[in-house]
């Protein structure tokens, strides 16, 4: 980190009048990737964030069509706790990455638009939030 920078993990921030929550890391898997967490620790970070307008995470909620990587031909691990948080708090957006070549880039859970914004690396086009 550079001086004046701060990592927001399990925290909230207000940007342009909207509340954003940030939860980093992924869940334990057989791939043993960096920053894997126990389910309980991940869920506690989600609880610490609370209700927000936009929930930003590294991994997707446990929605099958958001988890399947078409190039690797496998399901990645999503979070049941994240899915439950989205169902309960209904943020306007749930933004995530992790799945590099998703079967689908977005899905709706209740009123929440769940979007794989990390997919821009493959398309070269960043995602712009449409309020």
Q: Residues 20, 14: contact at Cβ < 8 Å?
A: yes
Strands 106-109 and 112-116: antiparallel
Helical spans, DSSP H, in 1-131: 39-49, 64-67, 80-89, 120-123
Residue in 92, 104, 100, 26 with CA at minimum distance from that of residue 59: 26
Q: Specify the pTM.
A: 0.92
- pLDDT of the chain, 131 residues: tens digit per residue: 899 999 999 999 999 999 999 999 999 998 888 899 999 999 999 999 999 999 999 999 999 999 999 999 999 999 999 999 999 999 999 999 999 888 999 999 999 999 999 877 667 888 888 88
- As a whole number of angstroms, the distance between CA 97 and CA 119 comes to 7
């Amino acid at each position: 980190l550079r001086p004046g920078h701060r990592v927001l993990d399990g925290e909230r921030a207000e940007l342009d009048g909207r509340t954003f929550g940030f939860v980093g890391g992924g869940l334990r898997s057989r791939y043993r990737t960096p920053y894997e967490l126990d389910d309980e620790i991940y869920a506690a970070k989600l609880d610490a964030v609370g209700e927000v307008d936009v929930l930003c995470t590294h991994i997707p909620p446990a929605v099958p069509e958001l988890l399947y990587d078409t190039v690797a031909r496998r399901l990645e691990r999503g979070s049941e706790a994240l899915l439950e948080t989205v169902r309960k708090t209904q943020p306007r957006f749930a933004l995530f990455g992790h799945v590099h070549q998703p079967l689908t880039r977005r899905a709706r859970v209740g009123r929440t638009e769940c979007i794989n914004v990390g997919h821009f690396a493959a398309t070269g086009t960043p995602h712009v939030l449409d309020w």
